[in-house]
Structure 1
Amino acid sequence: MSQIETGNLNKKTLETPETRGWVLGHFIDPSLPLHSKDVEIKWGRHQKGETKDSAYVDVPTKALAILIYGKLSIKFPEQDQDIVLEKEGDYIYNEGRLHHILNVFEDSLLITIRWPSLKA
């Protein structure tokens, strides 16, 4: 059966704060079209001054984060790397869920794609 769904990710993420911006993945209700065991997508809106320290989870995933607008850095302490994303289209790719710290210098929108979609 073919299906088409439309919507607005700004609205969707505000209506479902429990997903923390993740809009597609294994954690979405299986009866909904945005449920997937293959891939996860996050619509990440971040405010200037925000800092987030991720929980370190060692699972075999790959991730691609793409800056839509704004300016932020993603620091990987164990790898001694601090990457600044500041131009539209700047991206970072990493393998494994690595401990990282997000520092937001300007209001930003970051789209993250992670695969496969695994329970942590």
Structure 2
Amino acid sequence: MDETVYVGNAGVDGATNGGWLLGHFMPAGEVRHSADVEVKWGVHRAGESRERWATGERRTTLLVLVSGRFRVELPDRTVLLAAAGDYVVWGRGVDHTWYAERESVLLTVRWPSVPGYRVGPPVVRA
């Protein structure tokens, strides 16, 4: 097996790891293991939201909407991602949470990949 190449499918691989494809949490020695960056293929049902606000952020995040309608709540504003390709970037120290207004697929890139930020699974609002 060649440890310098990995071929997969984001929907399949992400489904077994909370959507995450790259980051410090992947097996050491594998090409998907990285302390520099995290990449997620997020698939969210309509009505899903983050369990709680992410606070004390030490990473920069890029969130790109692939499909759906997705709302990101930041301390001083709400950002609505409504068209494929809409994106938002926020830096270190910016708290956030989110809500999937419609079934949504997003690509998330965060850097660096820092242990200790695991939040529970999304919840569905009634």
* Superposed counterparts of 1:82-97, under 5 Å: 82-96=78-92
Matched, 1:119 2:115: yes
Distance 1:97 1:43 in 2: 23
Distance 1:56 1:12 in 2: 24
Give the gaps of 5 or more residues in structure 1: none
Greater fraction strand: 1
Paired position in structure 2 for 1:11: 12
Contact 2:56 2:94 in 1 (8 A): yes
Percent identical among aligned pairs is 30
Distance 2:73 2:95 in 1: 9
Residue type at the aligned position of 1:117: S
2:5 aligned counterpart, secondary structure: coil
Give the gaps of 5 or more residues in structure 2: 117-126
Q: 1:13 to 1:29 in 2, by over 3 A?
A: same
Residue 22 of structure 1 and its aligned partner are, at CA, apart by 1.4
Residue type at the aligned position of 1:94: W
Greater fraction helix: 1
Residue 15 of structure 1 and its aligned partner are, at CA, apart by 2.7
Residue type at the aligned position of 2:101: F
Q: Runs in 1 of length 4+ with deviation above 6 angstroms? A: none
Matched, 1:35 2:33: yes
Say which is worse superposed, 102-111 or 1-10, in terms of deviation.
1-10
Paired position in structure 2 for 1:61: 59
